[in-house]
Structure 1
Amino acid sequence: MARFFFDTYDGNRLIPDTEGIELQSAEMAKIEAQKALPDLARDALPDGTQKTFIVSVRDETGQVILRAALSLIVETAPQNRV
């Protein structure tokens, strides 16, 4: 088992993970990062028309081994004028 750290960024602030979690592999860390993105988006709904959420995964040495991102884009349809 190895310890992985999941730093999150919601477009406004970076929240470093100081505790981490133990997982069997980097592949499991990738799955956890992907699962975290919808929760980030739900907790910090965009206050504009676009927002990108990022989870960076670090290994025990502090090296970033992967980064996962989710972008939310809000587009309004143009109104038809008669």
Structure 2
Amino acid sequence: MALYYFDLRDGDVLAVDEEGMELRDMQAVQEEAARSMADAARDAVLSQSAGSFAHMSVEVRDDDGPVMRVRFSFDIDRRNA
């Protein structure tokens, strides 16, 4: 198993993962990146106001460098009733 780091980029802000996670293969890495992105996106959408637009990504790396990037964008457009 290899050690992978899941850094979260929210716009221009990068939160660096300094602990990492041991995973068996790239499928497990992709599944963990998807879970991380889903959690981050949910939190971001809940905390944003109408008219907000954001770009987020999970940037995965191992000891040799980048291995995967998962990107997500959202735009909150509320319709008044």
TM-score (norm 1): 0.80
Tell me by how many angstroms 1:78 deviates. 8.8
- My pick for the range that moved more, 23-32 or 40-49, is 40-49
Distance 1:60 1:27 in 2: 18
The AA in structure 2 aligned to 1:20 is G
TM-score (norm 2): 0.80
Q: Which runs of 5+ in 2 are unaligned?
A: none
Structure holding more strand per residue? 2
The AA in structure 2 aligned to 1:2 is A
Calculate the aligned-residue CA RMSD, in Å: 2.0
**Secondary structure in 2 aligned to 1:44?**
helix
| Corresponding pairs, count | 78
Structure holding more helix per residue? 2
> Percent of aligned pairs with the same residue?
33
Tell me by how many angstroms 1:74 deviates. 1.7
Structure number with greater Rg is 1
Tell me by how many angstroms 1:42 deviates. 2.4
Tell me by how many angstroms 1:75 deviates. 2.5
- My pick for the range that moved more, 19-28 or 37-46, is 37-46
